[in-house]
Amino acid sequence: MALRPRAVITTPFPTPAATARVLGVSAKRYRELRALVTEALAREHERNAKKRTVTRRRAARRA
Amino acid sequence: MIAGLCAFGLRPRATLEIPSPTRRLDRILELISACRYSFHDLSRVQLSGGAPRFNMPFEVGLAVATARWRPAHRWFLLEARPYRVQRTLSDLGGTDAYIHGDGPRKLLIALTDALVRAAKQPTLGELYRMFQILSAEATGIRRNHGTLFGARAFRDLVVIAVDFATREGAR
């Protein structure tokens, strides 16, 4: 029978700071990248809030 | 792949991340030895200027050899189409590849088959969301560096993915 290996990961999540250090990302670029993630999450949060509002309004109209 | 691996709490490495004068083969061996897991996508054996690129199957060989002398190292095969690896790399008979069908969703499903996170297994929805956010950021990174397949672009993507995974994990 053919085999497909599986792996159980028990190690903790690496921190972004440690990752940046390991990969040799400069402190300035690291700050820029963190800001990008913050912005992306904020944009996503905003989009989700709008979607929820639209859904709520539609449901209210149907009711 | 970067999004999926980071969502599982892994830190992806790639030879292209090290722009050093070291011999490429030494860098590959060094990275495989330093990593607990390696993922090899055999569907990336493509023609380059009319000649096939054998890097990926060669790297699988290095990973298999590494796992022989360091059994803690686990290697995973990925392929776009089922049963193709039996024809292209029959020496690996008895090992099935994870099939990704050349699409991100199937690749993420393959990763959830291959990896189990003991504390909390990320759902396919979480993995796909991470992929979408990373894809959106990749546009800016490509604009910045001119390519996504360079050392700086790779590092940026990994740091963003790890940061995102950490913040999501903390929720």
Distance from CA of A43 to the nearest CA of B (A): 10
The closest alpha carbon to B72, from B22, B113, B110, B37, belongs to B37
Tokens, residue B43? 């569907």
Question: Measured between alpha carbons, how far is residue B147 from residues B97, B119, B152, B154, B169 in Å?
Answer: 29, 36, 9, 10, 30
pLDDT at B127: 92
Give dist(CA B84, CA B61) in Å, integer: 17
Question: Measured between alpha carbons, how far is residue B140 from residues B3, B11, B76, B149 in Å?
Answer: 16, 22, 31, 14
Q: For B91-136, what is each residue's pLDDT tens digit?
A: 988 888 999 998 999 999 999 999 988 888 889 999 999 999 899 9
Give dist(CA A26, CA A22) in Å, integer: 11
Q: Which amino acid is at B143?
A: R
- Which stretch of DSSP H or E encloses residue B30? helix B24-34
Beta bridge partners of B79: B99
Mean model confidence pLDDT for chain A: 87
Beta bridge partners of B75: B38
Percent of chain A at pLDDT above 70?
A: 97
- Domain segments of chain B as ranges: 2-170
Between chains, do A20 and B156 touch, taking CB under 8 Å as contact?
A: no
Does A27 reach chain B within 8 Å, measured CB to CB?
A: no
The pairing of strands B47-48 and B98-99 is: unpaired
Does B128 reach chain A within 8 Å, measured CB to CB?
A: no
Give dist(CA B165, CA B71) in Å, integer: 28
pLDDT at B46: 77
Give dist(CA B130, CA B111) in Å, integer: 14
* Nearest-CB residue to B11 (from A5, A22, A34): A22
Does B27 reach chain A within 8 Å, measured CB to CB?
A: no
Reported ipTM: the value is 0.80
pLDDT at B67: 94
Does B136 reach chain A within 8 Å, measured CB to CB?
A: yes
Contact between A17 and A30 (Cβ < 8 Å): yes
**HSE-CB of B19 using CA atoms within 13 angstroms:** 9
Of residues A59 and B36, more confidence is placed in B36
Tell me which residues of chain B have a pLDDT lower than 50: none
Q: For A13-37, what is each residue's pLDDT tens digit?
A: 899 999 999 998 999 999 999 999 9
> For the whole model, what pTM was predicted?
0.85
Helix axis angle, A16-23 to A27-62, nearest 10°:
140
Residues of A in contact with B133 (CB under 8 A): 40-41, 44
pLDDT of A1 above 80? no
